[in-house]
Structure 1
Amino acid sequence: MTTHHEIIEAALARITAGYVFPEKTAGIDAAIRRRLDEGAYQDLDPRELCERVTADLQEACPDKHLRLLWAEEPQSMDEEPEDVARARFARYARENNYGVRRVEQLDGNIGYLDLRMIAPADLGGPATAAAMQLLAATDGLVIDLRQCRGGSPEGVQLWCSYFFADDGVHLNDIHHRATGLTRQYWTLGHLAAPRYLDRPVTVLTSDLTFSGGEELAYNLKVLGRATLIGQATRGGAHPTDRVPVAPHVTVTVPAARSINPVTGTNWEGVGVEPDLAVAAGDPLKTALEHLRTRIG
Structure 2
Amino acid sequence: MLTNEHIIEAALDRITAGYVFPEKTAAIEAAIRPRIASGAYEGLGGPELCETVTRHLQEVCPDKHLRLLWTDEPQSLEPVDDDGGIAAFLTLLRAENQGVHRVERLDGNVGLIELRRIATATEGAAAIGAAMQLVAHSTALVLDLRACLGGAPDGAALWNSFFFPEDHDQVHLHDVYDRGTDSTRQYWTSPHLPGPRYADHRRRPVYVLTSEITFSGGEDVAYTLQAHGRAVVIGATTRGGAHPTARHAVSEHTLVTVPAARSISTVTGTNWEGVGVVPDIRVPADQALDQALEEALKAARP
Shorter-chain TM-score range: over 0.9
Alignment of 1:129-278 (within 5 A): 129-165=129-165, 166-197=168-199, 198-278=203-283
Q: How far apart are the structure 1 equivalents of 2:207 and 2:174?
A: 20
Q: 2:110 matched to 1:110?
A: yes
What code does the residue aligned with 2:68 have?
Answer: L
Q: Secondary structure at the match of 1:183?
A: strand
Look up the match of 1:33.
33
Look up the match of 1:47.
47
- Asked if the contact 1:156/1:212 (under 8 Å) is kept, the reply is yes
Distance change in 2, residues 1:26/1:88 (3 Å): closer
Q: Which runs of 5+ in 1 are unaligned?
A: none
Q: How far apart are the structure 1 equivalents of 2:221 and 2:66?
A: 21
Q: How far apart are the structure 1 equivalents of 2:138 and 2:263?
A: 32
Deviations 1:157-211 (A, max 9, x none): 1110000014521111000001111011010111122211111000110111110
TM-score, normalising length from structure 2? 0.94
Q: Aligned residues: percent identity?
A: 59
Residue 217 of structure 1 and its aligned partner are, at CA, apart by: 0.4
Please, what is the CA RMSD of the aligned residues?
Answer: 1.6
Look up the match of 1:60.
60
What code does the residue aligned with 2:296 have?
Answer: L
TM-score, normalising length from structure 1? 0.95
Q: Which runs of 5+ in 2 are unaligned?
A: none
Q: How far apart are the structure 2 equivalents of 1:220 and 1:237?
A: 15
Q: Which of structure 1's runs of 4+ aligned residues deviate more than 4 A?
A: 80-83, 85-89
- Asked if the contact 1:70/1:249 (under 8 Å) is kept, the reply is yes
Look up the match of 2:73.
73
What code does the residue aligned with 2:209 have?
Answer: L
Residue 89 of structure 1 and its aligned partner are, at CA, apart by: 4.2
Deviations 1:83-124 (A, max 9, x none): 9x7665444322211111111111111100011111001111
Distance change in 2, residues 1:183/1:37 (3 Å): same
Look up the match of 1:19.
19
What code does the residue aligned with 1:272 have?
Answer: V
- Asked if the contact 2:236/2:278 (under 8 Å) is kept, the reply is yes
Residue 71 of structure 1 and its aligned partner are, at CA, apart by: 1.1
